């Protein structure tokens, strides 16, 4: 199976989109929960970074090991227990960018056959390397839709962010809201 056309480039674009979505939030706005019973913007960013760490590890295992077992995790417990409101936005964004750049560099070295390498996810079942990369590539735009909702609720503009309004309302794909997956494991 050949490398998916444009997928690695789209994967690298995610952190750029996220950075633009949160660029003008104040510290207070990052911690605010303008949509009741939903994560703050900083919690969403931390969730994306935590998820990226998990998926990068899983992709590396699928590349290096024959059909490894890939363990899911409880993202709501991560958000509650891992000091999201004490984490630094810039550090989180930089970490996300670095992980994606490293993973993209690895992915670009792979032979075409590697895209069909599989692992067994504890919640999703059999999953290919390509499936994993597609899921993580779609993860940031999905959550930017929630950040846009928070921007609107906080009275922040989307002006100057031409691509962000098209992401609003893209919360479909099996999720009702961040941290509430109707298909367990979608972002795990």
pLDDT confidence tier of residue 157, bands split at 50, 70 and 90: confident
| Count: domains in the chain | 1
Classify residue 126: in a domain, yes or no.
Answer: yes
Q: Tell whether the model's pLDDT for residue 177 goes beyond 70.
A: no
Contact 45, 149 (CB under 8 A): no
- How many residues make up the chain in this entry? 188
Classify residue 183: in a domain, yes or no.
Answer: no
Classify residue 113: in a domain, yes or no.
Answer: yes
Give pLDDT tens digits for 40-82.
Answer: 999 999 999 999 999 999 999 999 999 999 999 999 999 999 9
Classify residue 72: in a domain, yes or no.
Answer: yes
The predicted pLDDT at position 4 comes to: 78
Give pLDDT tens digits for 97-151.
Answer: 999 999 999 999 999 999 999 999 999 999 999 999 999 999 999 999 999 999 9
Phi, psi at 175, each rounded to 5°: -110, 140
Mean pLDDT (whole number) for 7-19: 97
CATH code for the domain in which residue 117 is found: 1.20.120.450
Q: Write out the DSSP string of 119-177.
A: EEETTTEEEEHHHHHHHHHHHHHHHHHHHHHHHHHTT---TT-TTHHHHTT---TTEEE
Classify residue 184: in a domain, yes or no.
Answer: no
The predicted pLDDT at position 187 comes to: 39
pTM of the full structure: 0.87
More confident residue, 181 or 6: 6
Which residues span the domain enclosing 86? 7-177
Classify residue 187: in a domain, yes or no.
Answer: no
Classify residue 1: in a domain, yes or no.
Answer: no
More confident residue, 156 or 121: 121
Classify residue 162: in a domain, yes or no.
Answer: yes
């Amino acid at each position: 199976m050949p490398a998916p056309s444009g997928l690695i480039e789209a994967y690298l674009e995610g952190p750029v989109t996220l950075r633009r979505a949160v660029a003008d939030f104040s510290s207070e706005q990052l911690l605010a929960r303008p949509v009741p019973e939903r994560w703050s913007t900083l919690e969403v960013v931390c969730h994306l970074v935590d998820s990226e760490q998990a998926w990068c590890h899983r992709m590396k295992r699928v590349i290096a090991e024959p059909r490894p077992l890939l363990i899911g995790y409880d993202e709501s417990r991560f958000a509650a227990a891992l000091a999201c409101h004490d984490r630094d936005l810039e550090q989180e964004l930089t970490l996300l960018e670095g992980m994606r750049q490293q993973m993209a560099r690895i992915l670009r070295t792979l032979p075409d056959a590697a895209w069909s390498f599989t692992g067994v996810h504890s919640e999703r079942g059999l999953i290919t390397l390509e499936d994993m990369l597609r899921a993580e590539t779609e993860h940031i735009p999905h959550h930017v839709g929630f950040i846009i909702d928070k921007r609107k609720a906080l009275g922040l503009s989307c002006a100057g962010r031409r691509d962000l309004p098209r992401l609003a309302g893209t919360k479909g794909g099996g999720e009702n809201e961040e941290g509430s997956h109707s298909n367990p494991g979608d972002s795990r």
